[in-house]
Amino acid sequence: MNKKLLITLLVGVMALALVNAVLVTYLSNRITAVQTIDSPMVLGISSTEDNWQGTLELDDMYTGGSNVVTFYTREQNIAPESVTGDIVNVITSSGITCADFDSIMVSTKTDEGNYGQPVDMLNVCEQDGYNKVKFTYPNQPLIWDAGQVDINMITVTFNDVVGTYTFTSQIIPTA
């Protein structure tokens, strides 16, 4: 085959490829849609009933004294419809057991009402490994209506123990 013919064919194929690339881009541009999905529930914790945060550092306590701490948690449904879920509370500490506590009292108020009758969550405390205990609210799943805000007052009375205790709370969707 002739060298000039081969070069001419090669240049022709390259030109044809370049025209097709430009034409395809011109005829078929690309579009993109991005959707961000956030949790419908906003949780917060505070040492008072305001100034909600994601983490709260509590004051140090010492054994033999008054080992009672009170803090507040807040759940707000920001979805336009109701949300159904279970609240799971976990306390972690090295070697923790449910016997580390004398009581864990929780009282809830909904949408700026009054606090309900306190419930001792120690009754539903269960060991979940060497460094963790957990408790879930009775009568679950719970339902938060659109825009509903619940505030929980949690009062923990420790027995004569030493350690660093971390409290976490999470809503697990059930529907």
- Average pLDDT of the chain is 84
> What pLDDT does 163 receive?
85
Give the CATH number of the domain where residue 62 resides. Answer: 2.60.40
Give the residue, 49 or 5, on which the prediction is more confident.
Answer: 49
> What pLDDT does 81 receive?
93
Q: Per-residue confidence at 137, pLDDT binned at 50, 70, 90? A: confident
DSSP one-letter string for 24-58: HHHHS-----------SEEEEEESSSSS-BS--PP
Number of folded domains in the chain? 1
Is the residue at 137 inside a domain?
A: yes
Is the residue at 31 inside a domain?
A: no
Is the residue at 17 inside a domain?
A: no
Is the residue at 8 inside a domain?
A: no
Look up the domain containing 95 and give its range.
Answer: 41-173
Answer whether 0.85 is exceeded by the pTM.
no
Is the residue at 75 inside a domain?
A: yes
Is the residue at 15 inside a domain?
A: no
161 pLDDT more than 60: yes
Is the residue at 167 inside a domain?
A: yes
